[in-house]
């Protein structure tokens, strides 16, 4: 007997019904040509309050700029401009 | 010759004259090797993002210079052996054209923001 496929419940995607808009890359948008590892105020924008690097899917940063931002943050951390971890943030 | 950028974090308990002398020493080495110091930026005392050698502050100095590659190892060794240096890092600097373009772009962005603010008013 053939399986009746019509009765099978349609799997709902988690995002169904929720409109998703592609976030624009902040770096592109503001035409920042050089992501300077010495500019901790600029980099602060790309780390969470815990000091973690914010992933692309959250920040919307494009691939190229995310790579540059991540590299800059790491250099910055080594020099004590940005924290590796920051605990007591409320 | 390439353009390099060296950032040094000094012990904050060192007095200014000592720090100045150490910075000058780097400059001298660069010049002796046939290079040229383009800029020395003294950021001054700054709070560290995390403690280093039980210190919460550091005195930051950034040097930009042209030097033959071999000299970089020498400067690195000098800084590494110096107890008054908490951290140091040398990177190949972004080329001048890019730095200039970036500064101009930042300027344009600032103007654009000012303009949109005017329009809103």
DSSP characters over chain B: -EEEEEEEEE-TTS-HHHHHHHHHHHHHHHHHTT-EEEEEEEEEEEEEEEEETTEEEEEEEEEEEEE-HHHHHHHHHHHHH-TTEEEEEEEEPPPHHHHHHHHHHHHHHHHHHHHHHHHH-
Longest Cα separation, chain B: 58
- Residue in chain A lying closest to B87 (CA): A79
Per-residue pLDDT tens digits for A60-89: 999 999 999 999 999 999 999 999 998 765
Local confidence band at B106 (pLDDT 50, 70, 90 cut-offs): confident
Contact B94 A77 (CB under 8 A): no
Instruction: Tell me the two tokens of residue B42.
Output: 């003294």
What is d(CA B38, CA A75) in angstroms, rounded to the nearest whole number? 22
- Residue in chain B lying closest to A33 (CA): B102
pLDDT of residue A30: 83
Q: What is the pTM of this model?
A: 0.79
Q: Which residues of B touch A35 (CB under 8 A)?
A: none
- Residue in chain A lying closest to B58 (CA): A80
Q: Which residues of B touch A75 (CB under 8 A)?
A: 89, 91
pLDDT above 60 for B116: yes
Residues with Cβ < 8 Å from A2, sequence gap 6 or more? none
Per-residue pLDDT tens digits for A1-50: 666 666 656 566 666 666 767 778 888 888 788 899 999 999 999 999 99
Contact A84 B50 (CB under 8 A): yes
Residues recorded for chain B = 121
pLDDT of residue A12: 61
Contact B50 A79 (CB under 8 A): no
Longest Cα separation, chain A: 70
pLDDT of residue B108: 81
Contact A33 B62 (CB under 8 A): no
Q: ipTM of this predicted complex?
A: 0.81
Q: Which residues of B touch A51 (CB under 8 A)?
A: 49
Per-residue pLDDT tens digits for B42-99: 999 999 999 999 999 999 999 999 999 999 999 999 999 999 999 999 999 887 777 7
Q: What are the beta bridge partners of residue A19?
A: none
């Amino acid at each position: 007997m053939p399986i009746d496929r019509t009765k099978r419940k349609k799997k709902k995607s988690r995002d169904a019904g929720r409109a998703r808009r592609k976030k624009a890359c902040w770096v592109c948008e503001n035409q920042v040509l050089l992501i300077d590892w010495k500019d901790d105020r600029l980099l602060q924008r790309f780390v969470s309050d815990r000091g973690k690097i914010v992933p692309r899917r959250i920040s919307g940063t494009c691939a190229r700029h995310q790579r540059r931002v991540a590299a800059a943050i790491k250099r910055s951390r080594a020099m004590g401009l940005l924290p590796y971890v920051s605990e007591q943030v409320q | 010759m390439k353009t390099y950028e060296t950032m040094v974090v000094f012990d904050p308990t060192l007095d200014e004259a000592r720090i100045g002398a150490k910075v000058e020493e780097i400059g001298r080495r660069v010049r002796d090797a046939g290079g040229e110091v383009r800029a020395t930026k003294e950021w001054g005392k700054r709070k560290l993002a995390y403690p280093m050698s039980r210190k919460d502050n550091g005195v930051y100095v950034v040097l930009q210079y042209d030097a033959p590659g071999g000299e970089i190892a020498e400067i690195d060794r000098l800084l590494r052996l110096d107890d008054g240096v908490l951290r140091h890092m040398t990177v190949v600097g972004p080329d001048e054209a890019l730095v200039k373009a970036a500064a101009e772009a930042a300027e344009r962005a600032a103007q654009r923001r000012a303009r949109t603010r005017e329009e809103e008013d």
